[in-house]
Structure 1
Amino acid sequence: MPHRALVSALLLLCAIAPLVRAASSPAVEDGVRLFREGRYEDARAALTPAATAKPPDSTAVFYLGRIALARDDGKEAARWFEQAVALDGQSSAAHMWLGRAYGTQAQKAGKLSQIGLAHKTRSEFERAVALDTGNLEARDGLISYFLQAPGFMGGSVEKAKEQAAEIQKRDAFRGTFANARIAEDQKDHAGAERAYRSAVAAFPESLSARYALGIYLTRVERFDEAFAVFDSILAAHPDELNGLYQIGRTGALSGQQLDRAEQALKTFLAAPPRENTPRPAGAHWRLGMVYEKQGKKDLAAEEYRKSLALDPNFAEAKKSLAKLK
C-alpha cells in the first residue's frame, strides 16, 4: 500500500470501532492486549491455543491474522483471515482484512500470481463495503487498489475519487485525508499539502491531523517543518508518546537533531506500553538507525538485535543489521 506510514498513523490515532466481538476468554483477552502493545510473539503464543481449538475462537483467529500482517507475512495472514471469513462470512471487517492480506501477498508475488491476488484483493474490499457501507477502511483499501492497479485490471483515478467522495460523505475528517492521498499519488503536492493543512485548520484539536501533516512533510523531506509540527504536539501534550516517536523517526530518516532523536526514542521505549502507539520493535529499529548515523555501530547493532528479539521476522531490522556486518 502506498504511504504506509500515514495509513498506519491514521489507523492508530483515529477512533476506530471494534472490528470483532469481545474476546471470549481471559487468555484471548491477554493475547489481544499483547498485540495492542506490539508484543507480537507473546501475543501469538497466547492466542494460538484458542485459535487452534475445536471449535476455534474467532477473535483469536482474527488477531493471529493481524499479527501475521503486522509482520508483513501476507500468506500466513490470508490463511487466518480466510478462516475468520469461514467462521463469519457476514463480517465486513474480516473481509476487509483478508483483502489487505491478499494485497500484501500481491506485492511480493510473481506477475502471474499477482494478477489473481490483485483481483481477490479488490473482491474482498468490495465485499466488505457491500456488507457495511460505512466500513471506511475497506473504502480506503479500494482507493489504494484503484491508484496502484493498471487500467486493464480496473485501476482508475476516477474510481479512487469516487471512494474518497463516499468517505467524505460519512466522515469529513477521513475524507480530507483520502483526497490528500490521491493528490499526492498524482504528484499534486501543492494540493496534498493544502488538504493536510485544511484538516489541521478544520480540526484544531485533532492530533491525528497534525500527525498526518508532519508525516507528509517528512515524506517529502521537509524535515525542519516536520520537526516543528511534532514540536507543536509535544508543547501541548508533553507525554504524547506518538510525538516522541515521530521526533525519533524524523531524526533517523533525516540525520538531523540526532541527539534529540536518540533521547526521544529512549523515552518512548522506557514508558509503559500503551495502546495506539508504534510497536517497540519499530522504535528499537529507529534508534538503531540514529546510532548508525551517529557512527555508533555497536550500539546500532544492539538495537537492531533488540528489535529482532521482539519480532524475528522484521525484514527492515534484518537488512539494517546485515549491512553493519
Structure 2
Amino acid sequence: MRFLILFVFLLPMQNFASDFNRAETLFKQEKYALAKPIFEKIVKEDAQNYKAIEYLGDIAGHAKNWNEALKYYEKLKKADPKNANYQYKFGGALGMKAKESNKFAALRMLDEIEDAFITATKLDAKHVESRWALVEFYLQIPAILGGSEKKAQKYALELMQISAVDGYLSQGYIHEYFSRYQKAEISYKKAFEIGNSKVTFQKLYSLYTHKLKQPQKAAALKRAFDK
C-alpha cells in the first residue's frame, strides 16, 4: 500500500517532466507551434516554472510577437532581477519592438532598453550577448540620444577581455559601420585566424565581396576555409 501511494504521488511529476522534455525537444527542432501549447500547459500547472516561461518568450520572439515576448520576459525579470539573461532578453525584445514602432514610441523605450543591457553586463562579467547588444545600440541610435562610437568601443574592449574572437568581430563591425573597410579587414582577419568558424568566415567573406570588392581575396578565403 505504501508503495502504491508513493507511485501515485510520483506519477504526475514524471508526466510533468516528460511533457517538458517533449516540448524542449520540439523547440530545439524549431517546431515552435507544437512546443508552445505544451509549455503553456506546464506554466498553467506551475506558474514558477521559469524555464518554461523563458521558452514561451523565445517562441514569441521567433514569431516576432514582441508584446507577448515582453510579457514573459518581464515576468522573469521581476521574479529574478539578478539574472543577466532575463535582463538581456527583455532588452532585446523591447529593442525589436522599438524598431517596429513609430519614432515617438521608440524614443520612450530607449532608456529602458539601455538599462536592461547595462544591468545584464553588471550582473554577469562574462555575458557576451548583452555587450554585443550595447555595441549595436550605441552605433544605431543618434548621438543626440546618447549614441557614440566611444561607448560602442567600450563594450567591444570588454568583449575582447572575455573572448578574443568576439572582441575582434565587434571591432571589425564598428570599423565596417563607419566604412573603415581596411581596418575592418584587419580585425575580421584576426577573428578568423583565432576562431576559424563559419561566423568569422562569413564576416570576412562578406567584407571582401560586398564592401572591398575584392573577389580574388574572397575566393582565396573560401578555399582556405573549405580545407
TM range (shorter): 0.7 to 0.9
Instruction: Give 2:138's aligned amino acid.
Output: F
- Name segments (4+ residues, structure 1) moved above 6 Å: none
Superposition pairs of residues 128-277 of structure 1, within 5 angstroms: 128-204=120-196, 206-217=197-208, 220=211, 229=221, 232-233=224-225, 235-236=226-227
- What's the CA shift string for 1:179-208, capped at 9, x where partnerless? 01111111112222221122222344x344
Is 1:28–1:59's contact at 8 Å kept on the other side of the alignment? Answer: no
* Deviation (angstroms), 1:59: 0.6
8 Å contact from structure 1 (residues 96, 124) kept in 2: yes
CA distance in 2, matches of 1:167, 1:120: 22
The C-alpha deviation readout for 1:3-49, integer Å capped at 9, x for no partner, is xxxxxxxxxxxxxxxxxxxxx82322332332222222122233221
For residues 149 and 127 of structure 1, the distance between their equivalents in structure 2, rounded to whole angstroms, comes to 19
User: Aligned pairs, how many?
Assistant: 211
Q: Is the 8 A contact 1:211 1:230 kept in 2?
A: no
Cα distance 1:202–1:141, how it changes in 2: closer, same or farther (>3 A)?
same
Distance in structure 2 (CA, Å) of the matches to 1:61 and 1:189? 42
Which structure 1 segments of 5+ residues have no match? 1-23, 237-325
Residue 76 of structure 2: aligned partner: 84
RMSD (Å) for aligned C-alpha atoms: 2.4
Residue 41 of structure 1 is matched in structure 2 by 33
Amino-acid identity (%): 23
Partner of 2:93: 101
The verdict on how the C-alpha distance between 1:186 and 1:71 changes in structure 2, with shifts beyond 3 A counting, is same
Q: Which residue identity lines up with residue 39 of structure 1 in the other structure?
A: K
1:111 paired to 2:103: yes
SS of the aligned residue for 1:25 comes to helix
Structure with the bigger RCO (C-alpha within 8 Å, sep 6+) is 1
Separation in 1, partners of 2:221, 2:26 = 30
In the superposition, the TM-score normalised over structure 1's length comes to 0.59
Q: Please, what TM-score do these two structures have when normalized by structure 2? A: 0.82
Question: Structure 2: which amino acid aligns with 1:149?
Answer: I
